[in-house]
Amino acid sequence: ADPARRTLERDALERTRRRITTVRGAAAPTGAPSDKPKRTIFDAERQENLPGKKMRSEGGQATGDDTVTRAYDGLGATFKMFLKAYGRRSIDDSGLPLKATVHYGEDYGNAFWNGEQMVFGDGDGEIFKDFTIPVDVTAHELAHGVTQYTANLEYFGQSGALNESLSDVFGSLTKQFQLGQTADEADWLIGAGLLADRVTGVALRSMKAPGTAYDDDVLGKDPQPATMEHYVRTSRDNGGVHINSGIPNHAFYLVAKALGGHAWERAGKIWYATLTGGELATDADFADFAQATVSAAQSQYGEGEEQRAVLDAWAKVGISD
Ligand code: ASN
Ligand code: ZN
């Protein structure tokens, strides 16, 4: 080959090398959502002011407060489940920072998402222990954020019970993902380890057997129905959002059990696609949601065992479209 051509070839090679180096060395475009969480844990010091005193930021050392550590680790486990199982980057899928306040209030017996952050009480030690103990409770609260940024289901009546149920589903899936459990191995409980000594019970709720989580003088009996036959009409609890959530919770459990294996895989993907697919109205009822899960199963897996499992599960809990 003539020298001119050899020069051209050498230049082309050089350009390619430079391009590879440039691409390899390039920083991620600014604003790109990251694969790492951005966690901050605050301490309300038994007051009710939010967010409270900053205790630990992302990458920071453990503080020596187990509650702060559990909140930090629980947010990390939830972030990881949403990323690895569904490719979701945080609450808004754009890397939204995760904020949580612990030691909220005096003996405060609850945890919640306030529209911007998670909040955890210490419990009184007699009825409830520290709400950062069960990872599924932490994941439940974070999942309220995911629902807010996606289907945004109104927190009342059936749409509210679906909102609650989705938090239980992704709460339980976070625990199952962390433990590497199959649907058969999982306990399907929400809040195992949270009830203190004065309460006769195992958890806040059971997706496998709604209505059986506790039966007790202090808390009464777990009021959750598993099927429409026992649907509760009430004006309390925003129209029974934490009560009738037992019905869609049990439907998810039945799908996961029918399919077997890891519940975050096929069953979870169908529910995640339903939550994020943009087809649900903010006031969707159980029948609307059931219909949307059937379509999600079909678009992801066709008319096979997945769709049949979904149809069977809703029929068993008394919902048909
Ligand atoms: N722990 C409850 C929940 O996340 C708190 C509430 O009802 N606001 O749904
Ligand atoms: Zn909730």
147 pLDDT more than 70 = yes
3-state secondary structure the chain: CCHHHHHHHHHHHHHHHHHHHHHHHCCCCCCCCCCCCCEEEEECCCCCCCCCEEEEECCCCCCCCHHHHHHHHHHHHHHHHHHHHHCCCCCCCCCCCEEEEEEECCCCCCEEECCCCEEEECCCCCCECCCCCCHHHHHHHHHHHHHHHCCCCCCCHHHHHHHHHHHHHHHHHHHHHHHCCCCCCCCCEECCCCECCCCCECCCEECCCCCCCEEECCCEECCCCCCHHHCCCCCCHHHHCCCCCHHHHHHHHHHHHHHCCCCCCHHHHHHHHHHHCCCCCCCCCHHHHHHHHHHHHHHHHCCCHHHHHHHHHHHHCCCCC
Instruction: Provide the ipTM.
Output: 0.95
Q: Quick check: CB of 155 below 6 Å from ligand 1? A: no
Give residue 112 CA to ligand 2 midpoint distance, Å.
7
Could you tell me the pTM of the whole model?
0.91
309 pLDDT more than 80 = yes
Stretch 147-174: mean pLDDT, rounded? 99
Q: What is the pLDDT of residues 45-79, one digit of tens each?
A: 999 999 999 999 999 999 999 999 999 999 999 99
Q: Quick check: CB of 200 below 6 Å from ligand 1? A: no
Tell me which of 164, 242, 244, 245 to substitute to probe ligand 1's pocket, judged by most ligand atoms within 8 Å of the beta carbon.
Answer: 242
Q: What is the pLDDT of residues 285-303, one digit of tens each?
A: 999 999 999 999 999 999 9
Q: How confident is the model at residue 34 (pLDDT cuts 50, 70, 90)?
A: confident
Give residue 154 CA to ligand 2 midpoint distance, Å.
12
Q: Quick check: CB of 16 below 6 Å from ligand 1? A: no
